[in-house]
Amino acid sequence: MRNPDVQSSPPIPDAERLIVALDVADAAAARRMVEALGDHVCFYKVGLELAMTPDYFELIDWLAACGKRVFVDVKLFDVPATVAAAVRQLAARGVDFITVHGNQAIMEAAAAAKQGNTRLLAVTALTSLDRGDLDDLGFDCDVGQLVLSRARRALEAGCDGVVSSGMELTRLRAEAPSALTTVVPGIRPVTNDEAPPDDQKRVMTPAEAIAAGADHIVVGRPIRDASEPAAEAARIQREIQTARAEVGT
């Protein structure tokens, strides 16, 4: 699973491994959250909810001006030329990560359009999906096989990495080159058995995801809804540092 056109990633500072999802109603709420978290967080995900608001691009520019890294999670899916045009627009704003869904031609067009330091991530299988969902969708394979297959295709297309549940990371890391950037959503500060029910079915704790090989973890509600969001972000950062030290990387 190696594409010579995909370059090895530079070392990732531990502080940049936590990506906080700005899953809030508008740009004003997003700014308040960023300001409240302060120096505890330097990487943010802006997704579809905010993309439907009028100040979306102003928010992206503001984050960049504040020295924050930006993950645009819009899961682009359209005809290849349209996806390529969208990637060029986003890359011109200096965003760090862009997600794309799609077939080989779509991913290839998106990869050809990226520029600068923008990195393209392919979505493998949403963390809201489980075996029953795949059966309903007609996939005759388990989630791990699907993720591995899509990761192979993404790298062949020129993508820089994947968004994947932590549950599939061990197998993915065993077969993927070090150049593959892995971003893991569905992170919860407690184990799956203890977590309250929500729309994420394949979840991991921050330490578990880092130990499995995640480059970045995405945390939303556990920080946003905490009684003290900045304290919770700081606690997760410490958990990441401890996990990194334990795996010796």
Please name which of 228, 126, 118, 200 lies closest in space to residue 168, comparing C-alpha atoms.
126
* Residue 75 is among the residues annotated as catalytic for this protein: yes
Distance in angstroms (rounded) separating the CA atoms of residues 144 and 54: 38
End-to-end CA distance of the chain: 22
Q: Which of 45, 75, 114, 201 is catalytic?
A: 75
* Structure-block tokens of residue 34: 């960023």
Active site residues: 75
